[in-house]
Each structure stands twice: as structure tokens, then as C-alpha cells.
Amino acid sequence: MKRICALFLGLILLLSALSSCAARPEKHYSDKISVSSSDAEDCAVWLTDRLGESLRDRVYISVGDSAGFDMSSFENDGYILKRDGNGIVIAAKTSVGADIAVRKYANAVDLGKGTDFNITYHEGYRIKKLTLAGRDISEYTVVYPESDPELRSSANSYMQYAAADLQRLIAKACGASLALVCGESDASPRIELRRSEELGLHGYRYFFEGDSLIIEGGSEDGCLNGVYRFLEHELNWECLSFGDSLLAEADYIDVPADAARTEQPVFDWAWLYFMAYEQFKTDRTTTANPYGKIDQAMHGDQLLGTTHWAGQICYTDEDRFYAVYDRVIDYIVNNIRAGKVIGEDFFAVSLAQVDEAKYCRCKQCLTVVKEEGGVNSGPVIRWMNRMVEEVNATDDAYRALIYKCYAYHGSQPPCKTAPVDQVWVTFCTDGACSNHILRGGDCNDRFGLYGLSEEPIYNNDSFGSWLKQWTDMSDNIYVWLYALDCSPRQYTIFETIYDDIQFLSECGVRGFFWQHQSNGLGFNRINFQLAYQLIWNTDMTRDEFNALKEHLLEKEYGEGYTYILEYFDILQQAQDKSGCWNCWGYGAPKGADERDQAYYAENFDLSVELLERALVLAGDKKQVDLCSRLTVHMLYSGCYAAYFEAYDNNDTARLEELNARYSRAIDRIITAYNAVGWGWLVSADTINIYSTDYAQVTIYRSLEDMAWKSWAEDRDYLPQGETQRPMPDKYAEDAKV
């Protein structure tokens, strides 16, 4: 590094000479900038466009070894950013690092910060020296136990992953190549992985025994969790467990001999379901999502002998019961014949209801409903309990299986009969209010619930009460959380995530599935990472949660994250003014929209200013991409809220501005789609936006087409001018048809 610093003056002279005497086409960047090669010219052009007259320094940009620098010890995003006299020197291994460096410099100038830089970024290993209890990490051996035949094969695989990943990640962090021993070893000092039944399936603890570091873990993936969480807590390796991994640079880290931690996730199973343009970048060998061996119920159409939208079976029909019984037995036997082992890779039989609220209303079913407190769950649970009893009578080995059903679509209220231990109930929050906490107490409206009543008599007070009653009755309750803000009109649940996951923990639910899908245009990536941290630490305070949220926003979007926070305040206030609406958000009944559209329209110009400012301040191309996607929902939603008022007022200037903003949103969607190979969803007139994994929202590429072909049905509920102008003739004819 000293040799590199000594070459700065030579670099400046060399770049000046190259810039002045090299035969080049006409330059498209400032005369104040000198570059070492064509690879650096894009950065020079960008910097010129960004700063304009604000560029006062001489700037010298070198990429690779074109100016005589040896950048071989740098990572691909590594760079040097240094003030040398009146000049700024940027030397980068690749154009990626050069791009990050020029953005860092430009942001400092833009924000009025100091520019006396002396930064060397990602040269060599991230941690220059690492010791455990004062001993150099290179002295340690990783020791892990041999496979345990009493455990599932996946549990043994997790242990192998844990040992191998610890070895790999330590080498990546500091360059030390640790020996790896499976089985008994007298190596000293060592990092020893152990199993512990006390830690359940997923929990872990780490501590020192003398000079040796011990990582104990639960029987499933406990040691793997212990490895990742140890590196997160002690080496400051952010989001290694889940999210975009980032290891901070450090000259020296010592993990002290009194370092110790024990953690247990509060759920046995969790799946944070996303469908983003790209997955999180992780340094993990194995995926962090989902974890746990038992999942939520899925519709048991085939075994029930019905079709998806055919209505529920009769739960008191003897012939139907034994027909399903025969199919269940065949299903179990066929899985065993295929080589699956109950309790190892074959756990459950799904007999969950079809996706329909129409329950049987025969005399016998209605009698059971009445006996069970007037709820549809009564016949279901009695039927499930009986099925378990009769299947168990066939073979004792079947007692290790579980049988899954729903509390969903009209069966959310619990019955009087408790499910037996082998019956696991998935409680679905479809229809709950997404603007307020699940436990209840905050909802100010009531709404109808499909399958129970179309009258407005339910809200989250009901959902929270029902869930608590289920968990008081059974230890085997899963929760299927709905947060379907997947259309171009996104909503935020930052204010509810914290309490909702704490409430699930307080109720004692066994696990949860979060259907919070993402089409990559919003902020779900932050939501997922917040939820994952809460799974491990439900004791997190609200202040800690908010600090984590802001940190993740900065990591995701860059220095302009404070502008994004201001925008979220606008969005949250728009939602609060709207009151209550169900989890489908944009699919709420007319007049029960997910936000106060007049308030959102009033703040549209400010929202544009805030998010576009955040986009300008993005620190690298990844953050540029994420900020650009984030603007899409805002531009689209603002045009939706503001269009008809501008049209009614014949405000041509405003309509022109809205057209420009809408076109910008369309261009950014197309850019994002092309980047990930989703161009097939784009046609000459329309774009298909994923709403869920089975549905799409079609948006038109023209604002006028979108307004009159799609939004016109909402016109009476959106801000209007003093006099409503008639629909344009070219759309009126289609509307008549």
C-alpha cells in the first residue's frame, strides 16, 4: 500500500500526459477530468453530467493497470480514493470500483461534505488479522462429529455444511485455511461443533472452553445457524444469515474469551415467501429461507376427491369419509414404496379444505356446526380427528405422520373440539386488515369476511381473538400471513411487522408462512430482513427495530435513504387516513382503498422529489437499480391518484407532467425486466406485472390508455375536478361495449 501511495504523483503526471497527448475522439467529459483508458471514460462522463459546474477539483481516474498500478490485491469492487494536493485521484481494479468511487466523491460534493479522502477499499482480505481469545485464527482446527444414524439425513448434512462453510468463510474473511476434522480429535486449539438436544431443532450457543471455541446446535440446523450467527455477531458480517451479505473491513478483530451467546428462533418453521427479480446475495452454502421441516397446509383437493373451486366436501357423509380414507392409505403406502421414510423425508398428509368458502349445509353438518358453537371449523376438526384415529388403527407407524387442515375462508373462528396432536391447523389471515396490527385494538372500521358474512362486522380484533383461541386449544397452529402488496400500487407494513411477529410469538404459534410476495418494485426486501431478525430476537425493542430498519434502508438504497424515510411518512399517513382495508390492498372494495388518494395526490410532487433525490445519491449500480424500482410504484400510484382531477380541470400542463412521470415508470419497469430476462412480459401496448405467483396485473404503456381502460371504474372514488368531463370519445365506444 505504501508503494501505491508513493505512486500518486506519478499517476497524476501520467494521466495528465495521457490526457493531453493521446489521440482521442472528441471528449464528452469535463477538461478537469483525466482518464487512463477508455474503461474510465464512462465514469468521467457520468461525473461531468452529475456535478456540472460544481466540479471544481482536478480528477484523475485510472481503471486496472493502465496507469501502472498493481491492483491485483484488490477485489473487483476495490478502489483508492485520495486527495493529492488540489486533485482527486481514483484508482480502481475494475469499472465497478471506479463507479463506486466517483459516486462517493460526487455525493460528498453534492451534499457539501468534505472531500479530503484517503480511502482504500477492499484491498486484500476484509479482516487483516483475526484472533480467538488472543490466538491467531490460523492455529485453529475445525472439528465436527460424524453422522448420527439416529438423526435425519438432512440434519447430518447441515452439520457437514456448517463445518465446511465455517472453513470457507474464515478463509474468505482473512485468508486462513483451517484444517477440517470429522470425528474424534485432540487438536488444540479448535473450533468444535457439537449437537445439543437442549437447543431444540434450530437453536445454538457458542462459548469458549479454554482456548477452544465451542459452537453447539440443535438437532436439525442448529450448528449451521450457530456458525452464521457467530460470524455475524463477532466479525460484523452483516446479513449472512439472510439478506445481501456484507463483511465490514477491519485491521484487527479479537473474539474475546468471554464471548458467548445463546439464541433460539421463536418458531419451528418459517418461510418468508418472495418472488423478486433477483434473490438476495448470500455467502451461505445453504438457503436461509425456509427453515424447518413442516410447512403450512396446502389444499388437499386430490385426496379429498374434489376440485379446486367445487365447494367443500360434506364432513358428515360416511361414504365420502371412507373414500378419502382409502385415498389417504394409498397415498401413505405409495410414498413408502417409493423409498420415503416417515419422519425423515415424509412428514405430513394435507387434507386441507379447497380454496372456497362454500361449506356443506346438509342437516347433519349444520347439527355439528351448532354443537361446535355455530362455526364451520367444527365439522372439519371432528372429521380430521376421526381420520387420524382410523388411519392410526391401520398401522402404528402412521402415528408419526401429521395431518394438516385450514382455519380459512369461513372456518377461522375456532370450534369447541380441540384438534388431536397429529392434526395441525394453518390459520390464514386472508381478509384481515393490513393497515393495523393483527392482535387488534387499532382498527377503526369493520368489514365483511368471505365465507362468514358480507356485512361489515369483522376486523383485526376478531382475527387476533380467533388466533389466540386456536393456540390456547392446540400447540400445533401455523399462521399463513397475507400481505399482498404486489401490484404497482404498493403499500407499507413497516409499522405492523414488529408487533405482528411479536404477537405470533406470544400466542405460541408453531410456525408461519408469510405470503408477502415481491415483484421487485417495492420495499419487500427490507420487510423480509426485518422479519428474519425478529424471528431470532422478538425481545428487540421498538427503538432497536427502527434503528435496524434505517440501517437496512441505507444498505439497500445508499446515502439518500433519509429521503426514502420521508417518503414512507407520506405513504404511511395516506394509509392511516384511509382507515382499514384488507390484505389484498389494491383489491379492496371500491371506496375502501389502501390509501387516501387525495392526500397522496397532494403530496405527489414532494414524493417525486424525495425518491428521485434518493436515486441520484445511490452509491453503486445495485443501489441505482433498487432505487429506480422503488420509484415505479410511487410514479404509478401518483398518476393514478392525480390523473382524473387534472383531466376534469383540463389542466394540460399537469397532464403533460403526469404523462412524463408515467412514461418514466414504464421505462424503468422495462429496464428492470430486461436486466433479468423478463422481456417476454412486455408487448407493444402493455406490460404484465406479477401480482402473485398465479396472477398478473396488466398495465398499459400509455397513461391515457391506463386511465380509461383500467382506472375509469375507480373514477368516482378518486380526486375529481369541480365538473366531471365526459370520457374521451375513443374510449367511450369501448366502454359501451
Higher pLDDT, 671 or 487: 671
Mean pLDDT of all residues in 306-327: 92
Question: Helix 561-578 crosses helix 542-557 at what angle (to 10 degrees)?
Answer: 120
pLDDT at 3: 42
Can you read off the three cell numbers belonging to residue 59? 480528477
pLDDT class for 23, splitting at 50, 70, 90? very low
Can you read off the three cell numbers belonging to residue 202? 434450530
Strand ranges (DSSP E) for 311-432? 348-350, 402-407, 423-428
Q: How far apart are CA 530 and CA 524, in angstroms?
A: 10
Mean pLDDT estimate for the chain: 90
Mean pLDDT of all residues in 66-75: 82
Predicted confidence (pLDDT) at residue 395 exceeds the cutoff of 80: yes
DSSP, residue by residue, 550-579: HHHHHHHH-TTHHHHHHHHHHHHHHHHHH-
Mean pLDDT of all residues in 495-521: 90
Q: How far apart, in Å, are the Cα atoms of 3 and each of 14, 125, 219, 361?
A: 16, 18, 52, 85
pLDDT at 4: 47
With a pLDDT cut of 90, the percent of the chain lying above it is 73
Q: Are 324 and 301 in contact (CB under 8 A)?
A: no
pLDDT at 295: 85
pLDDT class for 112, splitting at 50, 70, 90? very high
Angle (nearest 5°) at CA 641 between 702 and 615? 75
Predicted confidence (pLDDT) at residue 6 exceeds the cutoff of 80: no
Task: Give residue-wise pLDDT tens across range 570-599.
Answer: 999 999 998 888 887 654 545 557 889 999
Task: Give residue-wise pLDDT tens across range 438-455.
Answer: 999 999 888 888 888 888
User: % helix / strand / coil in the chain, to the nearest 5?
Assistant: 45, 20, 40
pLDDT at 587: 47
pLDDT class for 366, splitting at 50, 70, 90? very high
CA atoms lying within 13 Å on the CB side of residue 230? 32
pLDDT at 149: 86
Q: How far apart are CA 100 and CA 97, in angstroms?
A: 5
Task: Give residue-wise pLDDT tens across range 531-557.
Answer: 999 999 989 999 999 999 999 999 999
pLDDT class for 11, splitting at 50, 70, 90? low
Name beta bridge partners: 486.
Answer: none
Dihedral sign, Cα of residue 34, residue 37, residue 40, residue 42: positive
pLDDT class for 321, splitting at 50, 70, 90? very high
DSSP, residue by residue, 48-63: HHHHGGG--SEEEEEE
pLDDT at 18: 47
Predicted confidence (pLDDT) at residue 246 exceeds the cutoff of 50: yes
pLDDT at 695: 64
With a pLDDT cut of 70, the percent of the chain lying above it is 93
Task: Give residue-wise pLDDT tens across range 79-104.
Answer: 999 998 889 999 999 999 999 999 99
pLDDT at 677: 85
pLDDT class for 9, splitting at 50, 70, 90? very low
- From the number of C-beta atoms within 10 Å of its C-beta (0-12, 13-18, 19+), residue 13 rates as exposed
Amino acid at site 182: C
Q: Over 457-500, what HEC string results?
A: EECHHHHHHHHHHHHHHCCCEEEEEECCCCCCCCCCCHHHHHHH
pLDDT class for 488, splitting at 50, 70, 90? confident
pLDDT at 491: 86
pLDDT at 589: 46
Q: How far apart are CA 194 and CA 211, in angstroms?
A: 16
Please count the helices (runs of H) and the strands (runs of E) in the chain. 21, 26
pLDDT at 2: 40
174 CA to centre of own chain: 29
DSSP three-state, residue 331: helix
Can you read off the three cell numbers belonging to residue 244? 445481501
DSSP three-state, residue 505: helix
DSSP three-state, residue 605: helix
Predicted confidence (pLDDT) at residue 248 exceeds the cutoff of 80: yes
User: Longest C-alpha distance within the chain, in Å?
Assistant: 96
DSSP state of 422: T
Q: Could you report how far apart the first and last alpha carbons of the chain are, in Å?
A: 74
Name beta bridge partners: 190.
Answer: 141
Residue 322, sorted as left (phi over 0), alpha (psi -120 to 50) or beta, turns out to be alpha
With a CB cutoff of 8 Å and minimum separation 6, the contacts of 692 are 275, 484, 486, 515, 517
